[in-house]
Structure 1
Amino acid sequence: MSQTEEAGLTPGQVQNFIADGFVKIENAFSAELAKQCRDALWADIGLSPDRPEQWTRPVVRVGSKASPPFIEAANVASLHRAYDQLVGEGRWLAPRGFGTFPIRFPSTESPGDDGWHVDMSFGTADPDFMEWRANVKSSGRALLMLFLLSDVGADDAPTRIRKGSHATIARELLPHGDAGATLRQLASENWASTKDCKIELATGAAGSVYLCHPFLVHAAQPHRGTRPRFMAQPPLLPKGEFDPALPPSPVQIAIRQACGLTV
């Protein structure tokens, strides 16, 4: 569904987010803005879109970017409305840029980073990333977001998504309370608890954005296409901790429904 400047998410899209754990917004930002972002990233990595002989690694990573094209892409009016609808008005911080950027190139070599996982939200000062944590309130993260900066087809290393997996993870986090669980604890037996979820691919035209529940299980994959894939995967940060005095947001409703709690 095309996203216009005037329209936010439809009620059906919000319900799909609660049930599936993600919603796709097409044309969230312009193709020209996506190209400006790609051009900046090409310059950062010292490679050229016209010299494929330089593409010798399956993935090259760039950290955060805070130059104007990136800030603009993350803060278009349609996305701000969607953030309000999913997280709650006034409960998130406007992005000051975004990252990281796993730039994937056509390759027969394994990228080495294509395992299933959930992005952790706090405790990230620990040098052992397997000790990073998440809790059932999703402290430290309001959304996982996937910004497509190039056209991404089925062969272009689209992110794999386990549809509905956020509900399973919410139930697994519930007994751990505010302290949460580590990535090592959640990843037990290679995320076997979500292995039966239907797999969706985060494909789309440049300018598309996937807004995802923080607990969504997802994974990279090898690039089998011909043109490099440019994507950003920033978090949307919350303004503060969960406030039980406020009406629950769709992010919170999804958690409460998964845990069998009254919404």
Structure 2
Amino acid sequence: MAKILKSTDLECFQQQGYVRIPEAFSPVDALAMQDFIWDKLEEKCSILRSEPNTWDKHVTGLNKSAENTIYSDIASQRMCRAIDDLLGEGTWEIPKKWGSFLVSFPQKLNHNWTVPTNHCNGIPWHWDG
């Protein structure tokens, strides 16, 4: 089966801990997931897609929606083949639950902010990509 990831993608994953997978799922599926997430944000947090002034809340609890069938679209053939490239074909199983999408809105601060050099008991700063 043809590889999805190039050697440069694998190097990025080894060095940075993430890899971008263009067209991991179809645009139609991506838009459906986007609509689902916005609906959940409104339902759980009163965050409205069309009203950025409501985007000032810290979002938690979206993972409780992870059992919805909308998340099964994540397991596209392309995504699974990319995971095969990373982990080895036949070495993993499609998860029953993929977790949830991270939603982080910009926060209004009344002070200057810089990237912390240490946090969480001395563990260096990181990002989720």
TM-score interval, normalised by the smaller of the two chains:
0.5 to 0.7
1:68 aligns to what? 69
CA distance in 1, matches of 2:117, 2:77: 32
1:24 positional shift: 1.5
Give per-residue Cα distances to partners, 1:90-141, cap 9 Å, x unaligned. Answer: 221202342233322233149xxx8789xxxxxxxxxxxxxxxxxxxxxxxx
2:52 aligns to what? 52
Is the helix fraction higher in 1 or 2? 2
2:32 aligns to what? 36
Q: Which amino acid aligns with 1:13?
A: D
Percent sequence identity over aligned pairs:
24
Higher relative contact order (CA 8 A, sep 6+): 1
Find the residue that maps to 1:219 and give its secondary structure.
Answer: coil
Give per-residue Cα distances to partners, 1:18-65, cap 9 Å, x unaligned. Answer: 3443322122122332221122122223232112233231x3121151
Find the residue that maps to 2:107 and give its secondary structure.
Answer: coil
CA distance in 2, matches of 1:115, 1:101: 24
Q: Which amino acid aligns with 1:218?
A: H
2:104 aligns to what? 104
CA distance in 1, matches of 2:104, 2:17: 24
Structure 1's 8 and 116: CA in aligned 2 closer, same or farther, altered over 3 A?
Answer: farther
1:91 aligns to what? 91
CA distance in 2, matches of 1:96, 1:42: 23
CA distance in 1, matches of 2:18, 2:84: 15
CA RMSD of aligned residues (A): 3.1
CA distance in 2, matches of 1:70, 1:50: 24
- TM-score, scaled to structure 1: 0.37
Kept in 2: contact 1:67–1:97 (CA 8 A): no
Structure 1's 40 and 116: CA in aligned 2 closer, same or farther, altered over 3 A?
Answer: farther
Superposition pairs for residues 165-244 of structure 1, below 5 Å? 189-191=122-124, 218-219=126-127
Structure 1's 109 and 12: CA in aligned 2 closer, same or farther, altered over 3 A?
Answer: same
Q: Which amino acid aligns with 1:96?
A: K
> Which segments of 5 or more consecutive residues in structure 1 lack a partner in the other structure?
1-5, 118-186, 192-216, 221-232, 234-263
Kept in 2: contact 1:8–1:81 (CA 8 A): yes
Is the strand fraction higher in 1 or 2? 1
Structure 1's 20 and 45: CA in aligned 2 closer, same or farther, altered over 3 A?
Answer: closer
1:7 positional shift: 4.5
- TM-score, scaled to structure 2: 0.68
Kept in 1: contact 2:32–2:70 (CA 8 A): yes
CA distance in 2, matches of 1:51, 1:39: 15
